[in-house]
Structure 1
Amino acid sequence: MNTQSDDTSVNLDEARKFGRVSEDGHVFVIVEGEEYAVGQLPNASEDEALAYFARKFDNVDAQVSLLEARVANGAPAADLQKSVEQLGAQVANRNMVGDYASLQSRLVAITEQIATLAENEKQQQSQAREQAIAAREKIVAEAETIAAQDPEKTHWKNSHARMNQLFDEWKATQREHHLPKTIEDELWKRYRAARTTFDKHRKAHFSSLDEANAKAKRVKEALIAEAEALSSSTDWGVTAGKYRDLMDKWKAAPRGSRREDDALWARFRAAQDVFFDARSAANAEIDKEFEANLAVKEQLLEEARAILPVTNVKEAKAKLEPILDRWDAAGKVPRNQVRRVEGELKKIQDAISNAENAKWSKSNPEKKARANSMLTQLEDSIAGLEADLAKAQSSGNERAIAKAQEALDARRQWLETLKASSADLNA
């Protein structure tokens, strides 16, 4: 048997420190001064026999070195313990040649290190378990808080999304750390109860919401039907009043979902638009016919303004009377001009009426004094309005200028009328 190449891998000098070969070929190992027979290698030289059993020792020594490296790298203590026990059993057999004392000392050190690793792992596992329990307790507590919300005040979209997130977090904690079954079951029972309660409240809420939406839709569908039935009416005044009533009913009707309400409102509004667009078109035709009447009344206003200021009440009333007759005969004016032209005429009528009242009061000293006081007040008011007009002109604000000018002209006209009345009083 060729063992030359194998022999070169073994340090025989080192091996002879811990073993020997007898004349009959038996190999012994020396451990703490005592010899132990380790075996025999037939048909081999002393060196070959010693090298064979020394190589077995070197293999175990290499495994111990590997185990030391695993310990240093923090491998799982349970795996390390199994390996050290297997190596300890091999060393106990005394069937190799080598430094048993050193090897056993290393195994003892490894065993102590494994014990330390195991204790650290136990602490880490305990800490991890507590953290896992705390994490799941937090999930459960939040789920219970969400489930305990007042259904009338719950933001269902956000709460539902958060409940789903909590479930994902629960599954993640399960993957990261398994808890004892009793703890796991108790926490899961609480979480499941909270989720069930939340789902029950959510279903009840949306069921009620669906019912309310259906009721709102029925009410508004009926209002739409009425609005559509009226849309072709040409009884403008009566029908406009009916549409106002329908609008009040619409505002008082229950609200549904926003999308549904928007669609219903569009239909209701469309029916109104048909009627009011037709009414606007009809009024526009009528107003067009009344444009000529407006021109007549504008001319009559110019004639009436020429009566002012009132210096002779009887003469002013006589001049105004035929103007009023022609005014009535002129007929209607466009709707958007009615208030303006009637207001202008009333100003003239009021000026004549005020002058007449002042004349009636000429024999009353108290009213005479009051008239003089009014003259003073009007003069002060005109001074203030002249200042307002100057300020508006300096600012270039056309609207302010027109407003100030109109107010100033009215006061000046009234002042002239009052002066004329005062002259009559003093006569």
Structure 2
Amino acid sequence: MSSDPWGRVDETGTVYVRTADGEQVVGSWQAGSPKEALAYFERKYEGLVVEIGLLEKRVKTTDLSSKDAQTAIGHLREQIDAHHAVGDLDALRARLDKLVELVEARREERKAQRAKQSDEARHAKEALVVEAEELAQSDQWRVAGERLRSLVDTWKGLPRLDRKSDDELWHRFSHARSAFSKRRKQHFAQLDAQREEARKAKERLVAEAESLSGSTDWGPTAARYRDLMTEWKAAGRAQREHEEDLWNRFRGAQDVFFAARSSVFAERDAEQAENLKLKEELAGEAEKLLPVTDLKASRAAFRALNERWEAIGHVPRDARPKVEGRMHTVERALQEAEETEWRRTNPEARARAAGLTGQLQAAVDKLKGQAEQARAQGNTAKAEKLERELEGRQALLDQALKGLQEFGG
């Protein structure tokens, strides 16, 4: 007979293990000495110790699911309850009991974490919906359209909520996008209609201008051409593919008439040469207004120069494009300066830029906090995902801040 603190082998070769409930039969051993029998079943016990240790480590350091952990614990408990090992089986049961408690605690932690993530996702999606609904009323078609596309990408990166909540929020989000698209489509359809009306009006003006180009009734015809020019400016712009061709025909018809008039009134050549000299001088004065430093003063000075210009009269046809081009260059520079000033002082655009910057700054701050929290909790994957999203938001914020600086804000 052989024994140790946790088991023994009787004279018949039966192996026993000692437990809190008394001795339990482990098995029968006939192949060797009692000492070898105890050693064999002690190794069985050490195997259980190793398995429990590995399971404890997996529960503590990996994302092993509660269900899988409970299954593994049950399997080990069955082996312990079968009493096929010699050792402190009660201690192993106690370790498994503690492990069950740990698994349950981890399950509750994960449940709370999922609830928190779901709540954060809900708030994020609600914020996207609110912003989309605001953008749906915007008339800034390009900027708002790009922002809505960006919101869709953000939405796709967020986890799903419960089906009912997710569907309701998505319905509102999708409806806002559809409403914006409908308004934008209506706007451009109306714009197309206006340009088509302008094209038809200019077609009529071109037809009349061409019918007058052969007239020799110099005074009344010239007056009518001036009226046609006024009507042309009031008609608005036609479609881009038609505007230049119509304008070339319109101006071409006038050129034919005025060229004929010039040939008939050859004695006016000297006068036109003098007109050219005067206009060149005015163009030179106008060019001194550049670069524009005082918009108001430059605009007033150019207006005065232009009035003198209009009062001078015609110049030789071959010289007109060059001298007029000089004045047009100054005029375009003034228009660009006016547009720049308008954009800089436009309170609505400033407010939108400031509002967007504020929203982006809030989003960046929130993502930073979430990423730091994820790092602190050891959730590297989530932290990296948040940091990638943070880089995108930061880039948008930098761009928005740059735009805001253009307003001087």
Q: 2:113 aligns with which of 114, 124, 130?
A: 124
Alpha-carbon shift at residue 132 of structure 1 (Å): 0.5
Map residues 379-418 of structure 1 onto 2, 5 A cutoff.
Answer: none
Bigger mean CA offset, 39-48 vs 24-33: 39-48
Alignment pair present for 1:167 and 2:152: yes
Query: Percent of aligned positions with the same letter in both sequences?
Result: 40
Alpha-carbon shift at residue 171 of structure 1 (Å): 1.7
Alpha-carbon shift at residue 136 of structure 1 (Å): 0.8
Q: 1:181 aligns with which of 160, 163, 185?
A: 163
Q: Name 1:73's counterpart in structure 2.
A: 61
Looking at CA atoms only, which structure, 1 or 2, has the larger radius of gyration?
1
Q: Name 2:48's counterpart in structure 1.
A: 60
What is the TM-score with the length of structure 1 in the denominator?
A: 0.57
Alpha-carbon shift at residue 117 of structure 1 (Å): 1.5
Cα distance in 1 for partners of 2:38, 2:208 equals: 116
Q: Name 2:398's counterpart in structure 1.
A: none
Alpha-carbon shift at residue 212 of structure 1 (Å): 1.7
Map residues 19-418 of structure 1 onto 2, 5 A cutoff.
Answer: 19-32=7-20, 34-78=22-66, 79-149=68-138, 154-173=139-158, 177-257=159-239, 260-262=242-244, 264-277=246-259, 279-280=261-262, 283=265, 285-287=266-268, 334=271
SS in 2 for 1:54: helix
Alignment pair present for 1:18 and 2:3: no
* Cα 1:80–1:239 shift into 2, 3 Å: same
The aligned amino acid for 1:52 is Y
1 or 2 for the larger relative contact order (CA 8 Å, sep ≥6)? 1
SS in 2 for 1:116: helix
Cα distance in 1 for partners of 2:46, 2:180 equals: 68
Q: Name 1:412's counterpart in structure 2.
A: none
* Cα 1:275–1:97 shift into 2, 3 Å: farther
Cα distance in 2 for partners of 1:197, 1:95 equals: 72
| Aligned-residue CA RMSD (Å) | 2.9
Query: What is the total number of aligned residue pairs between the two structures?
Result: 273
SS in 1 for 2:236: coil
What is the TM-score with the length of structure 2 in the denominator?
A: 0.59
2:196–2:239: 8 Å Cα contact kept in structure 1? no
Alpha-carbon shift at residue 192 of structure 1 (Å): 2.4
- Unmatched segments (≥5 aa) in structure 2: 276-409
Deviations 1:27-47 (A, max 9, x none): 211123721112224434334
Cα distance in 2 for partners of 1:54, 1:280 equals: 123
Deviations 1:132-190 (A, max 9, x none): 100111111112222244xxxx12222222222222222221xxx22111211221222
1:77–1:115: 8 Å Cα contact kept in structure 2? no
Deviations 1:191-229 (A, max 9, x none): 222223223222222222222221111111222233334
SS in 2 for 1:38: strand
Deviations 1:333-391 (A, max 9, x none): x46669xxxxxxxxxxxxxxxxxxxxxxxxxxxxxxxxxxxxxxxxxxxxxxxxxxxxx
Alpha-carbon shift at residue 62 of structure 1 (Å): 1.4
* Cα 1:266–1:57 shift into 2, 3 Å: farther
2:125–2:155: 8 Å Cα contact kept in structure 1? yes
Alpha-carbon shift at residue 234 of structure 1 (Å): 4.9
Alpha-carbon shift at residue 127 of structure 1 (Å): 0.8
1:80–1:114: 8 Å Cα contact kept in structure 2? yes
Alpha-carbon shift at residue 267 of structure 1 (Å): 4.0
Cα distance in 2 for partners of 1:19, 1:137 equals: 66
2:205–2:232: 8 Å Cα contact kept in structure 1? yes
